[in-house]
Amino acid sequence: MKRIVILGAGFGGLRAAIVLGKKSRELRNKGYQITLIDKNNYHTYTPLLYEISTTSKETANYLDLKSVTTYSVEGVLLGFPIEFIQGEVINIDLLNKKIQLADQPAAAASARQVEYEYLLIALGAETNFFGIPGLQENALELKSLNDALKIRDTVWEMVEGAATDEAVDIVIGGAGSTGVELAGEIQEWISQMRKEGHRCRTSVTLVDAASTILNGFEPKIINRATARLKKLGTNILTAEKVSKVENGKVFLESGKIASYDILIWTGGVKANSIIDKLPFKKEKQGRVGVADELLCALENPDLEVGNKIYGIGDIVCVHDSRGRPVPMVARAAIIQGTIAAKNTINDINGRKLRFRYNPKEYPYIIPIGGKYAIAKIGPIIISGFFGWILKGLVELNYLDSIMPLQRALKIWLKGLKIFIQNDRLG
């Protein structure tokens, strides 16, 4: 059997696997099997990570939190004849059509190299520290379940261990949606802790180089989010670029210094660095240039790399009709995963029909502390409690798209029970 290999079981890769899995019999008859590779044996629902970062150990333990935000890849693919390999991709050898995986103690040498005939790359993004001196060494980040737990534990331990009136200053660098969500939620969590008797002085400061928070979003959204954060007590420092970080101090280009006890960096992402070494055309943030069929564009079009290589999700850069790069969001990755999978099926079946990716303005929801979120669907903006309800429904809808409804409901209700306690304040 020749392999169709999908790299990454995130939003895009998992969707591609499901679409290909539904055609597995047809593909098998043509001599192809489907292989999905991810370094984790679970799929992460990233929109819930900010909740994990702010759920105290008393509200939910590690296993409960893990079960509501991550879902076993093999569980999701149950019933599909898809081979799942848990392994870290360390190189893609385009010329020899081989994926190289990191050494795993129990694995045979042959298990560290996976040959492919078709390749769909969906390895996502990583935090971009922009080479700012001292930043990576001193800051926490929020990209994975473990990152979220680390933030939770750090905040908890600092506030728990602080004496009455002792200062605990939290600085969040980057006021995009992740920074804003996290600032709002930490702020609420801290007010709850104060109600429970912790008497230290805490502050949450959001710093961004742009002139507003949520740079690039429309003014109405920015105004509502700013008002909400101010109401919660968050300090907002905009038009302030971080120049360096030294133990306990964030130096800003303006000459100001923001002191911190906890520093979290949500100031940027870039395509997975595996891509850096590959001879693809690179766009902004190291993302691979793809045309509307989602084929990865080679720097040298004459390079012989065998069959077509598709790029999906955060690792690729597609421009909309106004020339703006499509934002790195789950909805784009899911749609691209479907398109790349369908084009692969058509390629193998020798059909001429090609699906094209047509970027759209995707709806979005930004939760900001407690039972409050700002949602934008087309021209409609909903903020407050109904935005928060909508966020829950979007999550249920996503779960239902990757697993049977009964299981989706069970996980969703469990999460709701945890996060309703977490979001006690309105």
Ligand X SMILES: Cc1cc2nc3c(=O)[nH]c(=O)nc-3n(C[C@H](O)[C@H](O)[C@H](O)COP(=O)(O)OP(=O)(O)OC[C@H]3O[C@@H](n4cnc5c(N)ncnc54)[C@H](O)[C@@H]3O)c2cc1C
Part in contact with ligand X (CB under 6 A); list of ranges 56-64, 107-115, 155-163, 327-335: 327-335
Q: Which two tokens stand for residue 226?
A: 């700013």
CA–CA separation, 289 and 44 (whole Å): 25
Q: Does 326 bind ligand X (CB under 6 A)?
A: no
CB nearer to ligand X: give 253 or 276.
276
- In angstroms, give the least distance from the CB of 195 to ligand X: 26
- In angstroms, give the least distance from the CB of 362 to ligand X: 7
CB nearer to ligand X: give 11 or 32.
11
Q: Which two tokens stand for residue 187?
A: 């702020």
Q: Does 286 bind ligand X (CB under 6 A)?
A: no
H/E stretch holding 236 reads strand 235-237
CB nearer to ligand X: give 5 or 333.
333
Indicate the residue type of 110: S
CA–CA separation, 307 and 3 (whole Å): 12
Q: Which two tokens stand for residue 192?
A: 């709850």
**Burial tier of 396 (Cβ tally within 10 Å: 0-12, 13-18, 19+):** middle
In what side-by-side order are the strands of the sheet with 118-121?
82-86, 32-38, 2-7, 118-121, 309-311
Q: Does 261 bind ligand X (CB under 6 A)?
A: no
* Residue of 2, 19, 33, 39 that binds ligand X (CB under 6 A): 39
Cβ within 8 Å of residue 129, ≥6 positions away: 135, 136, 139, 265, 268
Which of 85, 137, 129 lies closest to 108, judged by CA?
85
Q: Does 154 bind ligand X (CB under 6 A)?
A: no
Q: Does 179 bind ligand X (CB under 6 A)?
A: no
Q: Does 194 bind ligand X (CB under 6 A)?
A: no
Determine how β-strand 118-121 pairs with β-strand 2-7.
parallel
* Residue of 17, 18, 123, 171 that binds ligand X (CB under 6 A): 123
CB nearer to ligand X: give 73 or 200.
73
Q: Does 127 bind ligand X (CB under 6 A)?
A: no
User: What is the number of the residue whose Cβ is closest to ligand X?
Assistant: 10
Indicate the residue type of 153: D
**Other residues' Cβ atoms within 10 Å of the Cβ of residue 130:** 14
CA–CA separation, 184 and 182 (whole Å): 5
* Residue of 21, 47, 134, 173 that binds ligand X (CB under 6 A): 47
Q: Which residue is it, tokens 């939760």?
A: 367
Q: Which two tokens stand for residue 116?
A: 């492919």
Residues 333-352 touching ligand X, rule: CB under 6 A, are 333
* Residue of 4, 274, 326, 341 that binds ligand X (CB under 6 A): 274
Q: Does 143 bind ligand X (CB under 6 A)?
A: yes
- In angstroms, give the least distance from the CB of 12 to ligand X: 3
CB nearer to ligand X: give 98 or 143.
143
Q: What angle, 0 to 180 degrees and rounded to 10, lies between the N-to-C axes of helices 177-195 and 219-232?
A: 20
* Residue of 60, 122, 318, 326 that binds ligand X (CB under 6 A): 122
CB nearer to ligand X: give 146 or 349.
146
SS3 content of the chain, % helix, strand, coil (to 5): 40, 25, 35
Part in contact with ligand X (CB under 6 A); list of ranges 4-12, 212-220, 295-303, 411-419: 4-12
Part in contact with ligand X (CB under 6 A); list of ranges 8-16, 162-170, 208-216, 344-352: 8-16
Residue 236 in contact with residue 213, Cβ under 8 Å?
yes
- In angstroms, give the least distance from the CB of 92 to ligand X: 10
DSSP letter, residue 319: B
Q: Does 21 bind ligand X (CB under 6 A)?
A: no
Residues 60-119 touching ligand X, rule: CB under 6 A, are 88-89
Residue 242 in contact with residue 250, Cβ under 8 Å?
yes
Q: Does 124 bind ligand X (CB under 6 A)?
A: yes
* Residue of 5, 6, 13, 183 that binds ligand X (CB under 6 A): 13
Q: What angle, 0 to 180 degrees and rounded to 10, lies between the N-to-C axes of helices 330-348 and 11-21?
A: 30
Q: Does 241 bind ligand X (CB under 6 A)?
A: no
CB nearer to ligand X: give 141 or 169.
141
User: Interface residues with ligand X (CB under 6 A)?
Assistant: 8-13, 37-40, 46-47, 49, 88-89, 122-124, 142-143, 178, 272, 274, 313-314, 328-331, 333
